[in-house]
Amino acid sequence: MSYWVNGLACQQISVTDRAVSFGDGCFTTIHGVNQQAKMLNEHVARLINDSQRLKISQPDWVALKQHIQQVCSLQTEDEFVVKVIISRGVGGRGYSSHGFTSPTVIVSVSPFPNNYAQLQCKGARLIVSDIPLARSPLLAGMKHLNRLEQVLIKQGIDECAADEAIVLDTDGIIVECCSANVFWRVGQTVYTPDVSHSGVNGLMRQKIIALLADSQYHLQVVERFATVLKHCDEVIICNALMPVLPVQSIQISQQQPPLQFVSRELFEYLFLRCKI
């Protein structure tokens, strides 16, 4: 992996950085292809929106965009992952954010996951996580740095040797997956969870919603319990890297056999459109 901090090649940040002390910041994860950052404008717009919601002083966005493009131009692999973190900056001990005017900008490049192509063929195996997401409308939708819930969810995924997990909130409502958003189809109607109370409004989720608005499918943004998955024809998951995967099975509980899904109608409609 390679790292840059405030535009300079570097692998260290201050121990007093707010990202370390409080997870005080936001991030985005970009799919790099052939020395280009896919959906770069959308990723920068996300960082602007989320940092403004957190009332973080704004970095030079034009310079950051140019830096990301420069970093991508240095890559020799066909595909790679660029992660951009915006922290409130360095200093202080307590919670007060007064006086922080110089955010820390961290850019990293890592290898592209090698399992997505395989999962596009065979489908992803999901569990339903027993770790709920707290309902927090103040932070809902954004990719902030407080990811302890996801760390615990991923532990459960690894223990079950699953590919992903359906994640519920504290009221038992479907929200998303650990690192992806989720859609399910019943006939010509497609459903996706409301993420206004918790979860991440992913860029690929937004793209799929826009694609479905101009399609034969009818989209509904809903709050539903996990039992609805027993009655659907197809489930897909998505994020900026995948970009979309079919779901092969969902293990709702250890006492029941996993739900199986054969149809790939929605996946096939979206796959090439989401790769563009």
Q: Is 176 a catalytic residue?
A: yes
Q: If you ran DSSP here, which 8-state letter would residue 226 be given?
A: G
Asked if pLDDT for residue 71 goes beyond 90, the answer is yes
Interval 222-259: pLDDT, tens: 999 999 999 999 999 999 999 999 999 999 988 889 99
Q: Are 81 and 29 in contact (CB under 8 A)?
A: yes
Active-site annotation holder among 28, 38, 143, 234: 143
| pLDDT score of 44 | 98
- Rounded CA separation 169/132 (Å): 5
Interval 36-61: pLDDT, tens: 999 999 999 999 999 999 999 999 99
Q: Is 268 a catalytic residue?
A: no
Delimit the domains of the chain by residue range: 2-112, 117-275
Q: Are 183 and 264 in contact (CB under 8 A)?
A: no
| pLDDT score of 177 | 98
| The listed CATH number (1.10.1200.10, 3.20.10.10, 2.40.30.10, 2.60.40.3950) that belongs to domain 117-275 | 3.20.10.10
Structure confidence at residue 208 as a pLDDT band (50, 70, 90): very high
Interval 79-102: pLDDT, tens: 999 999 999 999 988 999 999 999
Average pLDDT of the chain to the nearest whole number: 97
Active-site annotation holder among 29, 164, 192, 207: 29
pTM: 0.96
3-state secondary structure of 49: helix
Q: Are 116 and 153 in contact (CB under 8 A)?
A: no
Q: Is 275 a catalytic residue?
A: no
Active-site annotation holder among 164, 176, 207, 234: 176
> What is the topology classification, in CATH, of domain 2-112?
D-amino Acid Aminotransferase; Chain A, domain 1 (3.30.470)
Token reading at 142: 């954004």
| pLDDT score of 254 | 84
Interval 14-24: pLDDT, tens: 999 999 999 99
What are the C-alpha distances in Å from 127 to residues 153, 239, 246, 258, 261? Answer: 10, 18, 14, 9, 14
